[in-house]
Structure 1
Amino acid sequence: MTASVVLFTSDLRLHDHPPLRAASAGGRQVVPLFVRDRGVTDAGFAVPNRLAFLSDCLRDLDAGLRERGGRLVVRCGDVVEEVCAVAAAAGAGEVHMAADVSGYAQLRERRLRRALEADGRRLHVHDTVTTVLAPGALTPAASDHFAVFTPYFRHWSVQRVRDPLGAPRVVQVPDGIASEGLPFRAALSGVSPETAAGGETAGRKRLTAWLRSGLAGYADRHDDLAGDATSRLSPHLHFGTLSPVELVHRARKAGGPGAEAFVRQLAWRDFHRQVLAARPAAAVTDYRTRRDRWRSERTARADIEAWREGRTGFPVIDAAMRQLRHEGWMHNRGRLLTASFLTKTLYVDWRVGARHFLELLVDGDLANNQLNWQWVAGTGTDTRPNRVLNPVAQGRRHDPDGAYVRRWVPELAGVAGAAVHEPWKLRDRAGISGYPDRVVDLADGLARFRQARSLE
């Protein structure tokens, strides 16, 4: 058995790919394999926006492999069955893949290892492919993971980060390995109109532009809603078309406050992964219960629908929710504000919001999405679990002249300046017909939340 199989999952790139490097060492033949996982589809995670981005990624990965003499093999079905079948067809003695952290991924890895070993084959799982540091690399003295970001980041910041690997020059694929056709974005329906293009080529192009013109100002501008000054690299990190290890090295080489702030965000990503790896149930249950008795989806149906549609009557909330539906992406400050509004002002279960985000976000990552929602809801790792973000104050602070609101809420396009954040105070509302009244008074929402959390 001289060939190997590389199972691509959320690492759809050729640059800095340890499993591919190990599998092809010594000039061995390798089968680059992607399985369109039936389990992911059955769980509801195969949504149009991510499928569109994935289609781009797979086609770009195949093109990159063909430039090197290889090709991508695509199968559909149960991952374990398909990997074992491809390994047998190729006469492969080893399968290489990246480590992952979700409960499903951990179960998949155990099943695959058992099945391969029963056939006399070996599974090699590689760390630091989709994270900068391995999830279990840092642990406090009394626990299997860090529960607070600040001490985690203190330890994370002083660790040596492995050097990035170059893309392979040649990839030799055994003959006769059957593959399904590559998917087409154009064949999908329900995709958000401005969903970003996927693939390593697009990701590296965006990274180059970001390092050249965006990174230096990131520390000062990352919360500027209208300025759109974040990297927008999160979809590429989610699908692994960019390496977080390479991003850390290149940001640190550039240096400066912007680079430090950007690297801190990559550390947050690692932090959430080490939490989920240790506590997989946190994807669906409270990490730290506050004994909330959330309003039921039936009782809060009208408020939930108004939130989903961007018709709450609070302009910055509505702008962010409409951006999500149109782009399959939302500014990070918008994510914080909309999550706080749903969970604390409307007092609706964080899982309702997390589910909606996963239905639309191209970067809909289980660890980041669920644990950020829990952080905002106060059931996660936030050390101030009862903080409430005021959408008016936040709008005035992070969209001071209202440009972000006017971009996404055309009903308010004629309202000048910061007055756009409080349209209910306008003397003349004739020009904003069609924009809804507020679904709740902020004072009433705050009182309800404080009473529910027994804070007064």
Structure 2
Amino acid sequence: MSVSVVLFTADLRLYDHPPLRAALEGRRQVVPLFVRDQAVAAAGFAVPNRLAFLADCLRDLDSGLRERGGHLVVRSGDVVEEVCKTAAEADADEVHMSADASAYAHARERRLRRALEAEGRRLYVHDAVTTAVGPGTVTPASSDHFAVFTPYFRQWSGQRLRDVLTAPRVVRVPSGVGSEELPSRASVPGVSPGLAEGGERAARERLTAWFRSGLAAYQDRHDDLAGDATSRLSPHLHFGTLSPVEVVHRARGAGGPGAEAFVRQVAWRDFHRQVLAARPAAAHADYRTKHDRWRSERTARDDIEAWRQGRTGYPAVDAAMRQLLHEGWMHNRARLLTASFLAKTLYVDWRIGARHFLELLVDGDLANNQLNWQWVAGTGTDTRPNRVLNPVTQARRHDPDGAYVRRWVPELREVAGAAVHEPWKLRGADRERVEAYPDPIVDLADGLARFKRARNRA
């Protein structure tokens, strides 16, 4: 019986997995392989929250494979070297994997293809596994990618998505292929205490529950900070424990304004991937420079640290940053608010904020994170690059009675109603009760004026 290797990357699932289905064609034996990539650790991306969530995902994937007669093979080191070693041990003639968008992923694919071909083996790379629509599938007439979301979304929406694949019933793994011990969450230090559970089972349970009780209201409630009415599926999409193709099919099947708004968010994820695939430097350089002279880590040290710890004196900003510290996750509206505060109100280099998010976010996705930060900073694809989100206005609009703030900022729990958003205005005994909470680190008017001067708009 012929043998294939399936290299799992950001697709840690059994349902709707085209590389796995292709590898099993013709009743082949399959080596399901995951390589703990030393280059990811060397680049600083192997952070506690994602390592812990990954451990959950790998254990769940192994469990699902064992239910089908197989098991997961785990190796550590250079991906190309480990795949070639595994293929040689199993006498496999082909390797299947999912396409990805980053410059590193493209370089890894080229290296792997050359190495396998030198040994007489073939590499098959499958699109639309980690995205609903693959990067480069839709392009404008005059460019290799869309730089504005709305026209991209129109073409994206017109694409016929591939059919959803069922999970295999049987996975036969050849004997004699060694594996390292599976990692465990318990062995990872520094994990956020409120980090969610990883793995395909948890993902599918959350998807089903949210489609049943949250999807219909998503259009009206997705910006409700206290209501926590978003899907919280982003970590599962990041690790591939859910298929974006399946998610879009199911949402469209449900129909309605909530489903349409949710599908639009999935399209934003694909949009950022096609931007990054076409412009890899956008991961670290301005996509559209405004020639900013940002405040640096050295010149804005105290302000940056106050922002990181949730001690800026602006309750909505601080609540969001404390949620990030506790859960390794943050509400999407809060991400926009906190990013705008750092990049525009404090005028700190967006890369500093993006790096902090990647150090903590369980869904810390290079394309989404970097390009959303650039969107907010006005150096990315935003068609209104000089917009500034006022944290007080945003708080009043999206947390009108202050419940989100009181949940995450215990110093302010005794402040009733919307007054919680401006504690510096409290007087007398009310102000004394919240004296442990800091005063604002910057006047909003001063921050806005500084930003306008920097952008030559004063």
- One fold, TM greater than 0.5? yes
Partner of 1:398: 398
1:161 and 1:15 map into 2 onto residues whose CA distance is: 16
Partner of 1:452: 454
Partner of 1:302: 302
* 1:339 correspondence with 2:339: yes
Task: Report deviation, 1:209.
Answer: 0.2
SS in 1 for 2:384: coil
1:336 and 1:171 map into 2 onto residues whose CA distance is: 43
SS in 2 for 1:106: helix
Partner of 2:128: 128
Partner of 2:365: 365
1:278 and 1:93 map into 2 onto residues whose CA distance is: 31
Task: Report deviation, 1:225.
Answer: 0.1
Task: Report deviation, 1:2.
Answer: 1.5
Q: Give the partner amino acid of 2:438.
A: P
2:17 and 2:299 map into 1 onto residues whose CA distance is: 49
Q: TM-score, normalised by structure 1?
A: 1.00
Q: Give the partner amino acid of 2:168.
A: P
Q: Give the partner amino acid of 1:438.
A: P
SS in 1 for 2:271: helix
SS in 1 for 2:272: helix
Q: Give the partner amino acid of 1:379.
A: T
Partner of 1:443: 445
Task: Report deviation, 1:47.
Answer: 0.3
1:382 and 1:243 map into 2 onto residues whose CA distance is: 28
- CA offset digits 1:355-387 (Å, max 9, x no partner): 000000000000000000000000000000000
Mapping 1:150-299, distance limit 5 Å: 150-299=150-299
1:296 and 1:254 map into 2 onto residues whose CA distance is: 47
* 1:433 correspondence with 2:439: no
Partner of 2:16: 16
2:342 and 2:72 map into 1 onto residues whose CA distance is: 42
Task: Report deviation, 1:430.
Answer: 0.7
Task: Report deviation, 1:102.
Answer: 0.5
* 1:54 correspondence with 2:79: no
Partner of 1:407: 407
SS in 2 for 1:27: coil
Partner of 1:32: 32
- CA offset digits 1:44-102 (Å, max 9, x no partner): 00000000000000000000000000000000000000000000011111000000011
1:397 and 1:376 map into 2 onto residues whose CA distance is: 19
* 1:82 correspondence with 2:82: yes
Q: Give the partner amino acid of 1:74.
A: V
Q: TM-score, normalised by structure 2?
A: 0.99
- CA offset digits 1:304-323 (Å, max 9, x no partner): 00000000000000000000
SS in 1 for 2:216: helix
1:117 and 1:288 map into 2 onto residues whose CA distance is: 39
SS in 1 for 2:26: helix
SS in 1 for 2:95: strand
SS in 1 for 2:61: helix
Partner of 1:316: 316
1:312 and 1:229 map into 2 onto residues whose CA distance is: 26
SS in 1 for 2:160: coil
Q: Give the partner amino acid of 1:439.
A: I
1:304 and 1:296 map into 2 onto residues whose CA distance is: 9
Mapping 1:370-385, distance limit 5 Å: 370-385=370-385
- CA offset digits 1:185-238 (Å, max 9, x no partner): 011110000100000000000000000000000000000000000000000000
SS in 1 for 2:319: helix
1:344 and 1:262 map into 2 onto residues whose CA distance is: 28
Q: Runs ≥4 in structure 1, deviation > 6 angstroms?
A: none
1:404 and 1:414 map into 2 onto residues whose CA distance is: 13
- CA offset digits 1:415-450 (Å, max 9, x no partner): 000000001111131110210010000000000000
Could you tell which deviates more after superposition, 335-344 or 426-435?
Answer: 426-435
Q: Give the partner amino acid of 2:392.
A: V
Provide the identity percentage. 80
Q: Give the partner amino acid of 1:308.
A: R
SS in 2 for 1:52: helix
1:9 and 1:197 map into 2 onto residues whose CA distance is: 19
2:160 and 2:275 map into 1 onto residues whose CA distance is: 21
Task: Report deviation, 1:147.
Answer: 0.2
Structure 2 gap ranges (5+): none
1:424 and 1:89 map into 2 onto residues whose CA distance is: 67
Q: Give the partner amino acid of 2:71.
A: R
Q: Give the partner amino acid of 2:23.
A: A
1:170 and 1:363 map into 2 onto residues whose CA distance is: 31
Aligned residues: 456
* 1:69 correspondence with 2:69: yes
Task: Report deviation, 1:297.
Answer: 1.2
